[in-house]
Amino acid sequence: MKIIRVLLIGCGGVGGSLLEQIVSNRERHAADGVRIAVAGVCDSRSVLQAHISAGHNDIDDDVLKAILEAKAAGKSMTEICKEKLLEGILVADLSPPPADDLRNLIKSILRSEDTVLNAKHGLVVVDCSASESLAPVLASAVQHDGCCVVLANKKPMTSSLEVYDGLMSTARRFRYEATVGAGLPVNTMLRRMVSAGDEVRRIAGALSGTLGYVMSGLQDGRPFSDVVTDAKRLGYTEPDPRDDLAGMDVARKALIMARQLGWRLNMEDVKVESLYPDTLSPAFMSSGDFMASLTELDESYRHRCQEAKEQGCILRYAAVVENGTCCVGLVSVPQHSPLGRLRGSDNLVEITSRCYSGSPLIIQGAGAGNYTTANGVLADILDLQDVV
């Protein structure tokens, strides 16, 4: 039985779904000869870990379930796990932020021995948080033998080139599929193409489910303000919809793809078009005022959609990675092109390369959702079992 230890950073949302899937797939993993042992779980307030020096190798499934319940109820993990803390089964570190201690925690887990099997196991540090500050910790973690890193968090991939290079210098112990398109095999395919020497010439993609929903609404002739208000009401947007409409999430995904092609770019090199003007930015007004001001933009969007339509085109919010540059914003695409035919919140990525030159390689499907994203993360963890 191959034992893969996991240290999970971020256990709400995607991280929570990952814990659920680890627990519910125990039997199937056993049939595949693998066991995922959760050595520790961090959220933004605390680190909870199995009490290794007292002989506890990993956190029990019933504790993992309790953590999930605590997170769902908005309670602290340590509060819920108090009993196990008192019994010396768990150790908690309440110092916020956990970043400072993470380096030592990783080292101590790597040094520790499985007290049952008298063996050392590798460790996969899984980042499902949205934190930027942990990126250097991850880049140094992956330098340790037997330590792998898996990301759902995009930020370590879009941090400084120094951090990026650190992560990529041990590319065989590093996976990040879920950072673009959730579970879609976009990064996996780019990795395969680059490794085999296929020359990628252009990547164009609709990479935000939220903005896909907005653009489909505009295409149907609805006012911009209506569509954004609906998207917020349905929970498709961040609490402040400007976090989606500014396009920064799509910009990060564009940069992740471009860097994989070997392009030495940083976030400030990505040309990003925001779907709202600076005058409506958080610097000048609250989220509520922004929502009330949305109607100001309706006429401009109606006009742009009409213009595109007259040319047989559709307006899409897309990332275009081409000729050494990344552009993110509104593009007018032919109605019958793959991007033009896209509807709703699905992601779609077109890759043009030496192999896929006549017509592009297309990957399309749900590109968000905790369950789907966690599935991509879990596949990455299992894919690392030969090197961890």
Rule CB under 8 A: which residues touch its own copies? Answer: 21, 24-25, 28, 32, 172, 177, 183-185, 188-189, 192-193, 195-198, 338, 341, 344, 346, 354-356, 358-366, 369, 371-372, 375-376, 378-379, 382-383, 385-387
Q: Closest separation between CB of residue 322 and its own copies, Å?
A: 18
Q: Closest separation between CB of residue 30 and its own copies, Å?
A: 12
- Select 150 or 297, whichever has its Cβ closest to its own copies: 150
Q: Closest separation between CB of residue 252 and its own copies, Å?
A: 22
- Select 89 or 168, whichever has its Cβ closest to its own copies: 168
Catalytic residues: 253
Q: Closest separation between CB of residue 219 and its own copies, Å?
A: 15
305 has binding-site annotation: no
27 has binding-site annotation: no
69 has binding-site annotation: no
14 has binding-site annotation: yes
- Select 103 or 191, whichever has its Cβ closest to its own copies: 191
Q: Closest separation between CB of residue 386 and its own copies, Å?
A: 5
Rounded Cα distance between 356 and 345, Å, is 25
- Select 59 or 384, whichever has its Cβ closest to its own copies: 384
- Select 33 or 239, whichever has its Cβ closest to its own copies: 33
15 has binding-site annotation: yes
34 has binding-site annotation: no
What residues are designated binding site for NADP(+)?
Answer: 10-15
Binding-site residues for L-homoserine: 238
- Known binding-site positions for NADPH: 154
> Which residues fall in the annotated binding site?
10-15, 154, 238
